[in-house]
Structure 1
Amino acid sequence: MNGTNSKNNPVRLQAAHWLLRLEGSPGDGALRNEFESWLQQNEAHRAAFRSAEHTWARLGKLPPELIATPATPADILPLKPRRRPRIFWASAGALLAAACLLLVAAPVIQRHLEADHITGVAELSDVVLPDGSLASLDADSAIAVDYSGAERKVILLAGQAFFQVHPNPDRPFRVNAADLSVRVTGTAFSVDKLASTVTVAVQSGTVEVASPGVAEVSRLGMGDRLVFDRQARSARQEQVVPSTVASWRSRRLVVHDATVGDMVEILGRYLPGMIVVRDGSMNGRSISGVIDLTQPREALNALAESQHGKLSQITPYLSVISKR
């Protein structure tokens, strides 16, 4: 399968942009009329928009009940100065949540257009690749597959994946994540792409990892893990228990010396909406333990409490971690 043939179809991109504009301005009649005109131009437009709507609903990023509808003049009541009714704050909260979630949803829709395989919130999936190799996708993850050239290539667009590769010395298997490149012939390993790091861990076999800014290629064997710092452009190598590699496949996450910021991002794959850490100094702190991914909300609360913080659920789709 070639992952580059139809990912940037302009009609699909237009449909995604229409969805974002309509969700952001539900009461704009002129915008709605312009959209209806575009929709009626041909069946391709209608099919692309149906696909975009299906993706939005499946990923659960922005529920329709959070889209605030502007009040009509008949709904407006005279108020005393410096007083705000409860309905104002409720509407303001909904608008804030909707705005935040739109920021989250835009890259998610773009990712869907680029991906061959994608998972939603708290969804795990096993994908059989064209050569029979297996890719297991963590929640909120996406890959693009390109077997058209001399190499078998997979791009990790987001999230985390575990690969069990069928050996073929004449046609290497390569995984790209950000600027990191992992080359193998046959092995089992995981790649995790976060905002701050990309991590490669080997359960069995060997891999070669080329890191940007690192002159030498890193050779990893069973139980080796390489953590690449995307900002510092540096890598460190460490040992892990092989059986703990990709432990998330059994809904159990073994964490050793991870940062709070990374853990918030990982747990965010299992919770709809977005998580905000008000005190940025928390993000760099280290944490270790075993996390039950079947109870992500409880795990997030425990994480906050371990840092002497508290978790506040503003809406079902907006959570805030702050200091006590």
Structure 2
Amino acid sequence: MTEPTHPSASAVDLEDQAIEQWVHLTSGRASEADRSAFARWRGQSADHEAAARLAERIWQALPQTCAAQRFVVPTKVTRRPLRWAALAAGVGALALTGLSEPAKVYFADYATAVGERRALTLEDGSQVWLNSGSALSVRYSSSRREISLIKGEALFQVSKDASRPFVVQASGGSVQAVGTRFDVDRQGEQVRVGVTEGEVKVSSGGAVVPLRAAQRLEYVAGTAPSPTGALDLGSASAWQRGKLIFNRQPLAEVFADIERYLPGSLVIAGSLPTTAVSGVFNLDDIPGMLEMLARTQPVKIYRMPWLTVVVVNQTRA
């Protein structure tokens, strides 16, 4: 690793240099000479030292992300040839014992990649729009239409069939409708439900809550749903039209909504201010959206192929 020397570099240039060097130092390929070079680099000035400390803050924040806390190192599996009967038995056993979320996503009937949105028409004529990074499976019988939302967000336009309830299962709870239009957003164990037409019944933690048009609520696996609140119909399901609309939404929620459209992980280094954000953003221009937030909010945003880091500017927050 060469030691960069930019006597007149701006603070932003120094921060970029520090992050680039820190990536190399933590890659497992750095030598003692590289570490010594970085020590000399950070000692050139107070600005160099501040940039180095910023890079360290970013890396220290990584283990605090939800993705890092959920990560489990996979065990090494010895693969043997399987006959079809043995494979069927194995799949049956997995269905009975349960799968991890990544495995369930792999076996899902429908899934979208990060940045992809997809429209589906089910066998009964019901329509489904899958948001970025989402997955679901479909199980229809003569008496019930059941959807398992494994990950992400889906908007449902349900064909009426009173003899076969339409039920969406998500994180230990369910949303039941006969003929209506509603959105279910699952992020880990938390589920948000919003109704734009008709009415649904949300069941979780032993409680059943009716939810009508222009209402929303949320629940966490194993707990009763929250009280109902008003749903902003102007911004609800805007992602279906390729837009994100924020109406005085807290900055933390804005980044939580954006995260699903970013490859890799999003890290927030510092405490975000309680800024209310309003605006209409194009989902086909995520870099432009991040650039706008960096210009108008007290944050700096660094993008790498697998990581987006939001650093709170304490002097402006």
Q: TM-score, normalising length from structure 2? A: 0.63
The one of 281, 290, 302 aligned to 1:300: 290
The one of 309, 313, 316 aligned to 1:320: 309
Deviation at 1:151, TM superposition (A): 1.4
Structure ranking higher in helix proportion: 1
Counterpart-to-counterpart distance in 2, 1:104 and 1:140:
20
Q: Does 1:82 align with 2:75?
A: no
Counterpart-to-counterpart distance in 2, 1:78 and 1:159:
44
Deviation at 1:285, TM superposition (A): 6.3
Q: Does 1:113 align with 2:106?
A: yes
Check 1:304–1:218 CA distance in 2 against 1; reply closer, same or farther (3 A cut). Answer: farther
Deviation at 1:205, TM superposition (A): 1.4
CA RMSD of aligned residues (A): 3.9
Check 1:283–1:175 CA distance in 2 against 1; reply closer, same or farther (3 A cut). Answer: farther
Q: Provide the secondary structure at the position in 2 that maps to 1:120.
A: coil
Alignment deviations for residues 259-289 of structure 1 (CA, whole Å, 9 cap, x no partner): 444432332222222211112x328765444
**Higher RCO by CA contacts (8 Å cutoff, separation 6 or greater):** 1
> Match of 1:310, as an amino acid?
K
Alignment deviations for residues 158-187 of structure 1 (CA, whole Å, 9 cap, x no partner): 111111111110110001121231101111
Question: Would the aligned equivalents of 2:272 and 2:312 in 1 still touch at CA under 8 Å?
Answer: no
Check 1:299–1:69 CA distance in 2 against 1; reply closer, same or farther (3 A cut). Answer: closer
Aligned length: 243
Counterpart-to-counterpart distance in 2, 1:121 and 1:241:
25
5 Å-filtered alignment, 1:195-210, equals 195=188, 197-210=190-203
Counterpart-to-counterpart distance in 1, 2:290 and 2:305:
14
Question: Would the aligned equivalents of 2:204 and 2:221 in 1 still touch at CA under 8 Å?
Answer: no
Deviation at 1:222, TM superposition (A): 2.0
Counterpart-to-counterpart distance in 2, 1:180 and 1:258:
26
5 Å-filtered alignment, 1:48-59, equals none
Counterpart-to-counterpart distance in 2, 1:228 and 1:169:
26
> Match of 1:278, as an amino acid?
A
Structure ID, larger Rg: 2
Check 1:221–1:113 CA distance in 2 against 1; reply closer, same or farther (3 A cut). Answer: same
The one of 147, 170, 181 aligned to 2:174: 181
Alignment deviations for residues 82-138 of structure 1 (CA, whole Å, 9 cap, x no partner): 34599xxxxxx9xx8xx9999599877424323110000111111121212111101
Identify the residue that residue 230 of structure 2 maps to in structure 1.
239
Question: Would the aligned equivalents of 1:301 and 1:310 in 2 still touch at CA under 8 Å?
Answer: no
